[in-house]
Amino acid sequence: MKYVTLPAGEQAPALGMGAWMIGENRSSRAEEIAALRHGIELGMTLVDTAEMYGEGASERLVGEAIRGRRERVFLVSKVYPHHAGRKEMPAACEGSLKRLGVDCLDLYLLHWRGSVPLAETVETFDRLRTQGKIRHWGVSNLDTGDMRALCALPDGGRVATDQVLYNLSRRGVEWDLLPWCEERKIPLMAYSPVEQGRLLRHSGLRALAEELGVTAARLALAWLLRRGQLIAIPKASSRAHVEENFAALECPLDDATLAELDRLFPPPCRAAPLEML
Ligand SMILES: NC(=O)c1ccc[n+]([C@@H]2O[C@H](COP(=O)([O-])OP(=O)(O)OC[C@H]3O[C@@H](n4cnc5c(N)ncnc54)[C@H](OP(=O)(O)O)[C@@H]3O)[C@@H](O)[C@H]2O)c1
């Protein structure tokens, strides 16, 4: 496994697993659990979920998948913006811990910015941290302006990551957010790294992957993972997809391949609002 260093100095896996839209269908439950367990065995031990996903169904499934393996997993969950205040967050966190069957989250993220002041959210995250309910906290879907405001707050500099939409077909963050985070050594966490599967149907990407003798998923993930301080969290609900995604850690990308990817998916040439799914 490749690792990134969090601002607090701890290492976290650069390739993890997402858990949106899992745990919602009884018939696929066993396969989803087996896929997550297989990924953990391979070393993709960072697992990303949220109280929002299936209104707790994803956290319950992840809890079942990690039972007996808790100490090997870097567990990430997210709080709804309307639960991000000092009164609501402790109960929301307890709910996530209970559904996951754990005493502590490794990373707790604000899912997106809502109406609760960031200062109140940071203060509450920090209280949960000192109480041992969470080990690190971070944010999701915050743009560069939001990140500047966050980092200007007392303790705001403790932010461990910003989880944002980033993949070959969504390169807007390269304009400002990514360099801004890189400069401050805050790892970005790329969600929907294969654009929920849509990227894998791109004819140009498929042709290039075929030429290189790899799959489109492997190439798209390798392109993200070539960055030193980036975490990618593809969601896969089968062992075969998990294995293919894991193989992205070993997928050489030479200059010609990178240039062809830039031709197929041009980098941004101006600032644009942060995209979200
Ligand atoms: N913070 C946020 O606002 C936010 C928003 C979106 C997502 N997320 C997080 O990011 C995670 C990943 O994003 P995502 O689930 O939206 O999309 P994604 O990971 O880009 O794509 C998942 C889709 O791609 C398929 N897939 C995965 N690996 C594949 C492979 N090797 N070959 C072929 N198909 C493959 C999956 O199919 P199978 O399931 O059939 O394997 C699934 O349909 C989420 O699960 C969630 O944890 C966060």
pLDDT class of 233 with cuts at 50, 70, 90: very high
pLDDT class of 13 with cuts at 50, 70, 90: very high
Q: For residue 63, how far is its CA from the centre of ligand 1 (angstroms)?
A: 19
pLDDT above 90: residue 252: no
Known active-site residue 53: yes
Q: Check residue 181 and give its pLDDT.
A: 98
Percent of the chain with pLDDT over 90: 99
Q: For residue 3, give the 3-state DSSP assignment.
A: strand
Length of the chain: 277
Per-residue pLDDT, averaged over 50-75, amounts to: 98
Half-sphere exposure of residue 248, counting CA atoms within 13 Å on the CB side? 30
pTM beyond cutoff 0.85? yes
Q: Are 194 and 166 in contact (CB under 8 A)?
A: no
Which stretches of 70-143 are DSSP H helices? 89-100, 118-130
User: Does the Cβ of 135 fall within 6 Å of ligand 1?
Assistant: no
Name the phi and psi angles at 91, rounded to 5: -70, -40
Distance CA 116, CA 90 (A): 14
User: Does the Cβ of 200 fall within 6 Å of ligand 1?
Assistant: yes
Q: Which atom of ligand 1 is nearest to the CA of 193?
A: 20
Q: Are 195 and 224 in contact (CB under 8 A)?
A: no
Q: Is the dihedral of CA 246, 51, 102, 153 positive or negative?
A: positive
- Write out pLDDT tens, residues 200-223: 999 999 999 999 999 999 999 999
Pairing type for strands 17-18 and 11-13 reads unpaired
| Structural tokens at position 210 | 């075929």
Distance CA 277, CA 120 (A): 26
Q: Are 53 and 95 in contact (CB under 8 A)?
A: no
Name the phi and psi angles at 201, rounded to 5: -100, 0
Give the chain's mean pLDDT. Answer: 97
Q: Which of 241, 239, 233 is nearest to 217 (CA)?
A: 241
User: Does the Cβ of 97 fall within 6 Å of ligand 1?
Assistant: no
Place of tokens 């932010």: 159
Q: Check residue 222 and give its pLDDT.
A: 98
Q: Check residue 238 and give its pLDDT.
A: 96
Residue to mutate (ligand 1; options 51, 62, 170, 194; most atoms within 8 A of CB): 194
Q: Check residue 157 and give its pLDDT.
A: 95
What domains are there in the chain, each with its CATH number? 3-264 (3.20.20.100)
Q: Check residue 176 and give its pLDDT.
A: 97
Q: Are 151 and 184 in contact (CB under 8 A)?
A: yes
Q: Check residue 276 and give its pLDDT.
A: 96
Supply the DSSP string of 146-172, one letter for each residue.
Answer: HHHHHHTSTTGGG---EEEE-BTTB-G
pLDDT above 90: residue 82: yes
**Count of other CB atoms within 10 angstroms of residue 132:** 9
- Write out pLDDT tens, residues 148-193: 999 999 999 999 999 999 999 999 999 999 999 999 999 999 999 9
Among residues 53, 108, 166, 191, the one annotated as catalytic is 53
- Write out pLDDT tens, residues 91-143: 999 999 999 999 999 999 999 999 999 999 999 999 999 999 999 999 999 99
Q: Is the dihedral of CA 87, 92, 93, 98 positive or negative?
A: positive
Which residue owns the Cα nearest ligand 1 atom 48? 191
